[in-house]
Amino acid sequence: MDRKAKTATITLRKDARWSNGTKVTAKDIEYPYEIIGNKKTESQQYSSDYATIKGMAAYHAGKAKTISGITYPDGQKGRSVVIHFTKMSPSMQYLGNSFIWGTVEPYEYYGKTPISKLAESAKVRKNPIFTGPYKLDKIVQGESTSWSPNKYYWGKKPQIKNIAIQVVSSNNIVAAFKSKKYDFVAGGPNATMPSSQYPKLKALKDYSEVGISSLGYNYFGFNVGHMNTKTGLNVMDKNAKMGNKNLRKAMLYAVNIDAVSKKFGNGLSWRANTLIPPTFKNVYDAKAPGFKYNMKKAKSLLNKAGYKKQGKWRTQPNGKKLTIYFGGMSSSAATEAKYQYYIQQWRKAGLNVKMTTGKPMEMNSFYSTLQKPSQNKIDVFLGAWAVSSEPTPTQMYGVDAPYNMGHFATKKNTQLLNSLNNDKAWNSKYRAQQFKKWQEYMNSQAAYGPEMFSLAWSPVNKRVKGYDLRPQNNEFWSNLSLTAANPK
């Protein structure tokens, strides 16, 4: 990085190759930016942070065919690119930031497949290639993948001849481990093992439980607007059903998350107090109160905001009927019991809350609904983020972020998000202060409400050696080895 020149130079190692043996090139470094920024892309990663790359805004708007700010010192088939920025940001120092993409894409392998068709193409869906220690041998869509060592991998040679990864329902995972079908759950610091399963799995003699602070959290989201498809910006609607922040706050205060985590969390999950996970110790606000259970306060907020009771249920301030639709994904029995508890509590507060389809939604249906530019089927939802190793939240909550599925957008939010990576933010104390201001502001608006933090954990069979989730273990898969032919 060169702060004065406002550039970042990325150089490939000499022996970098794809799993099909072809060289990784400078164009492969640049191509992800084309995919992310393309107006017709299926990617959801674009945010205003990428617009700091010179020429990206014009490319994103369809006014330019290339990104002028990305250049090739030794040509597209060379080993390096230089990215020219309008400003430099402190988060660029860390892997997983929202300005510099961290991986490559095989430009020549994809051939002339239009970016709009990439996600559905056979080379992505059926025969993708990789740069890691293992190559993909077989994929059964939605069910399983099989992997073997990639002979072109530059790093430590993998020690396991075959790795099979299978999709398993959270309701069936305990039985699967009891029958010793699996060695561990994949996912690392973003693994999503239900905390409710811990007591049963802890009892297994031939497994050890290994965990680390999760790079993720659960949250409540409220639908307060829509995405303008012409501008690509989220817009809050004045007359949105969930537009009143006191209604949103009341719903957050009405649920006793401490009690839920005590009942189902087994010490592995706990009430979240902000939208930044505690693993980011330097910027996480441990002192923020969040929304501790207070039904009396919830009812008071509703009364003051004009949500008066007319019979069994409260009405809107204009006197019209109010029915709130809650969306949650199909999950474990414990999670679905949690959904029912939340609905029960909201009803105790006088709010007529129902599940969107009468029951939990299948994951793809859930997200396809929320990711529509405009939708009125889900008013409040329970979601989860698996975040990157750099905490800037612009890609989830920015004004132009597709992942901002509740469409919260204010000038103050944009100002605070921008302040996390402005020139002053190179000072770590200032940056931490601004992160805490953003967390405080988001809690004050309650368009998104923190639900739970947790540990990422998995049972690990005792035949597995080298299982290490710590961030400094850059060779996770290569360091794994087995001491027996089958799980013990």
- Compute the distance between CA of residue 131 and CA of residue 152 in angstroms, rounded to an integer: 8
pLDDT of residue 192: 67
What residues have CB less than 8 Å from 194, skipping those under 6 apart? 170, 173, 331, 332, 334, 335
DSSP SS3 for 365:
helix
Residue count of the chain:
488
With b for 16 or more beta-carbon neighbours within 10 A and e for fewer, the 301-318 pattern comes to bbeebebeeeeebbbbee
Query: What domains, with CATH codes, occur in the chain?
Result: 7-116 (3.90.76.10), 134-189+197-206+456-482 (3.40.190.10), 216-455 (3.10.105.10)
- Compute the distance between CA of residue 256 and CA of residue 328 in angstroms, rounded to an integer: 18
pLDDT of residue 169: 86
Tens-binned pLDDT, residue by residue, of the chain (488 aa): 999 999 999 999 998 999 999 999 999 999 999 999 999 998 989 988 999 999 999 999 999 999 999 999 999 999 999 999 999 999 999 989 999 999 999 999 998 899 999 999 999 999 999 999 999 999 999 899 999 999 999 999 999 999 999 999 888 899 999 999 999 998 777 776 888 889 999 999 999 999 998 999 999 999 999 999 999 999 999 999 999 999 999 999 999 999 999 999 999 999 999 999 999 999 999 999 999 999 999 999 999 999 999 999 999 999 999 999 999 999 888 899 999 999 999 999 999 999 999 999 999 999 999 999 999 999 999 999 989 889 999 999 999 999 999 999 999 999 999 999 999 999 999 999 999 999 999 999 999 999 999 999 999 999 999 999 988 899 999 999 999 999 98
